[in-house]
Every structure is written in structure tokens, then in C-alpha cells.
């Protein structure tokens, strides 16, 4: 019988964030294909797992995948892990998975931690749908295309960025899409976890170089005449709120969510506008 390729999510920081099932699989497979075997060894040592590891990273994945496919076909099961989080999400592993699928082998997910979902869940921004854009490219042509793609998205966007590029990228993002609401997350689940929230114009000047990559969650409003609209007239919002709450069965909370989607803002921002309007009379 051929073996199974297990795609195993591992902690993004806190080593306690691993499932019982993931630990069992890591113990039972013949080998663990790891993005960085040294980093994976820390996790394995923490849980007294003695399974051998082999490296599988962006520089050797194309050449090494066939050897791993041969082992799977020979009956060995393999666990694929990245340095942190879920493999293939801006990490290597996609080529091996595609090769296994093409060879008719079983590929089984072992779900768990993900920086994308962790940041999204605590962002306070709309989560009913979102677009993940990975890392912004460094080369100017590809980078320009990336920002054009981001600009075309209406709604929640999640992307990664290195600490030494974070300020430049956020300032460029601001110029591309306007002063949208963002959450900059760093060191999630670790001792020095950091979450910075607010308009991108403020957040871009607040974050800086330091330890750990950033996960950015941004909410982009609707477009009007090619200009991003994130600041509707407070008087109009208040009037719309009054009309919506007159509808039978419409609670205050539901009305705020309706207005948030209508104006491309967060529910918290709509609430703030209503409170400001109330105070101003």
C-alpha cells in the first residue's frame, strides 16, 4: 500500500499550539519533510518525537520531490511541515503536494495554527470573506502589479511583510488604497505579541523594525470615481441608521453591520460615527 502525505500545521510561536492528532502523525510517519530541520527539531524535542527529518525548502523542493514521491509509492508515509503555521501558505510544499496528487497518492491535511487566520480572527474587521495576498514582491514591476491587485479588492485583505520593509510597504499601501483601517500583528502567540490597530496613516508610522514578520489585515472601502471612500458624511450615516432601525426585527447591532458593509467601514467605526453625531447634537 502506498503511504500518505500528511500536510501538518505546526505552532506559529507558542509550542503548546499543536493538536494531539498532529503529534501522533509526526510520531508515526517514516520521515518529516521540514522547511528548516533545525527549527523543526526544537518542536520535536519538546514533545519527545524521534522521527527523522529531511529538508524541503524553496531551493531544493523541485529536485527533491520525486525522491519523496518514490518513498510514498514504496509505502512510507511522510509529514510535510513548514517553519511555522500551515505549509504552502507563503511557504514551500506546493510542488510536493502537486506531484503526490498527480501520482494518485493520498494527501491528508492535519489542520492547526495559521498566522493568517489568527490575525484575521482578532482584527475586528469583517471576516465573512477576505483575500490573502502573501508577501508583496520586491521587484518594482511585480510590486506595482501586486498593489494594483490589492487596490482592486473591495473588502478585507491579509498579507505578510518583513519587519525591515513594513513601514515602506504600509506607506505605499496607503497611497494605493487610501486611509483604510488596518491591524498590524507581530509575534502572535508569543510573549511579545503585538497588535496595532487604526487608520493606516497612523499605523504606518507606529510600527517599525524588530523581531518577527508582520501579518497585516486591512479593510478597503468602496470606490467612488476611482477614489477610496472611507469617511461618509456622519449626518447621512445617522439618518440611514434611523431608517434601518425602524424596520421590524432590525436590532441596533444588525443595523450597524448593514451600514458597515454599505460604507466599506468596520462596525466599530460606524458605532464611533453614531456616537460622535449624538454628542454633536
From residue 195, give the alpha-carbon distance in Å to each of 169, 227, 231.
17, 28, 24
Give the lowest-confidence range in 61-75, 174-188, 218-232. Answer: 218-232
Calculate the dihedral angle through the C-alpha atoms of 167, 171, 173, 177, rounding to the nearest 10 degrees.
150
Res. 231 pLDDT band, cuts 50 70 90: low
Average pLDDT over residues 252-257: 86
Q: What integer pLDDT is reported at residue 227 of this predicted model?
A: 40
Question: Is 121 in contact with 194 (CB distance < 8 Å)?
Answer: no
Question: pLDDT tens, 78-117?
Answer: 999 999 999 999 999 999 999 999 999 999 999 999 999 9
Topology, domain 116-228: 3.30.950
Q: Write down the residue that cell numbers 447591532 correspond to.
A: 253
Question: Is 133 in contact with 176 (CB distance < 8 Å)?
Answer: no
What burial letters (b/e) apply to 158-175, b meaning 16+ CB within 10 Å? bbbbeeebbbebbebbbe
- In angstroms and rounded to an integer, the radius of gyration of the C-alpha atoms of the chain is 23
Q: Helix, strand or coil for residue 142?
A: helix
Listed by start position, the domains of the chain span 4-113, 116-228, 231-280
From residue 233, give the alpha-carbon distance in Å to each of 46, 202, 236, 238, 270.
55, 21, 5, 9, 11
Look at residue 232 and tell me whether its pLDDT is greater than 70: no
This prediction has a pTM of 0.76
Query: If you average pLDDT over each of 169-178, 226-235, 244-253, which comes out highest?
Result: 169-178
Res. 264 pLDDT band, cuts 50 70 90: low
Look at residue 228 and tell me whether its pLDDT is greater than 50: no
Q: What integer pLDDT is reported at residue 224 of this predicted model?
A: 36
The CATH architecture to which 4-113 belongs is 3-Layer(aba) Sandwich (3.40)
User: Cell digits for 266?
Assistant: 468596520
Look at residue 15 and tell me whether its pLDDT is greater than 70: yes
Amino acid at each position: 500500500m502506498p503511504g500518505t502525505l500528511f500536510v501538518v500545521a505546526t505552532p506559529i510561536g507558542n509550542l503548546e499550539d499543536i493538536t494531539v492528532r498532529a503529534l501522533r502523525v509526526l510520531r508515526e510517519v517514516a520521515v518529516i519533510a521540514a522547511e528548516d530541520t533545525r527549527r523543526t527539531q526544537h518542536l520535536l524535542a519538546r514533545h519527545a518525537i524521534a522521527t527523522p527529518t529531511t529538508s524541503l525548502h524553496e531551493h531544493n523542493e523541485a529536485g527533491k520531490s520525486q525522491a519523496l514521491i518514490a518513498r510514498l509509492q514504496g509505502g512510507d508515509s511522510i509529514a510535510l511541515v513548514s517553519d511555522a503555521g500551515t505549509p504552502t501558505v507563503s511557504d514551500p510544499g506546493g510542488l510536493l503536494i502537486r506531484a503526490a496528487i498527480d501520482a494518485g497518492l493520498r494527501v491528508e491535511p492535519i489542520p492547526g495554527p495559521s498566522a493568517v487566520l489568527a490575525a484575521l480572527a482578532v482584527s475586528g474587521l469583517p471576516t465573512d470573506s477576505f483575500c490573502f495576498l502573501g508577501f508583496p514582491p520586491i521587484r518594482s514591476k511585480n510590486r506595482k502589479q501586486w498593489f494594483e491587485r490589492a487596490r482592486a479588492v473591495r473588502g478585507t485583505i491579509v498579507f505578510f511583510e518583513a519587519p525591515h520593509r513594513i513601514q515602506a510597504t504600509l506607506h505605499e499601501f496607503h497611497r494605493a488604497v487610501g486611509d483604510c483601517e488596518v491591524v498590524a500583528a507581530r509575534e502572535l502567540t508569543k510573549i511579545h505579541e503585538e497588535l496595532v490597530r487604526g487608520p493606516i496613516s497612523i499605523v504606518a508610522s507606529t510600527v517599525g523594525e524588530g523581531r518577527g514578520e508582520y501579518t497585516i489585515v486591512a479593510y478597503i472601502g468602496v470606490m467612488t470615481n476611482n477614489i477610496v471612500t472611507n469617511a461618509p458624511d456622519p449626518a447621512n450615516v445617522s439618518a440611514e441608521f434611523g431608517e434601518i432601525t425602524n424596520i421590524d426585527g432590525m436590532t441596533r447591532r444588525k443595523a450597524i453591520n448593514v451600514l458597515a458593509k454599505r460604507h466599506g467601514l468596520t462596525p466599530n467605526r460606524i458605532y464611533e460615527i453614531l456616537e460622535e453625531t449624538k454628542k454633536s447634537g
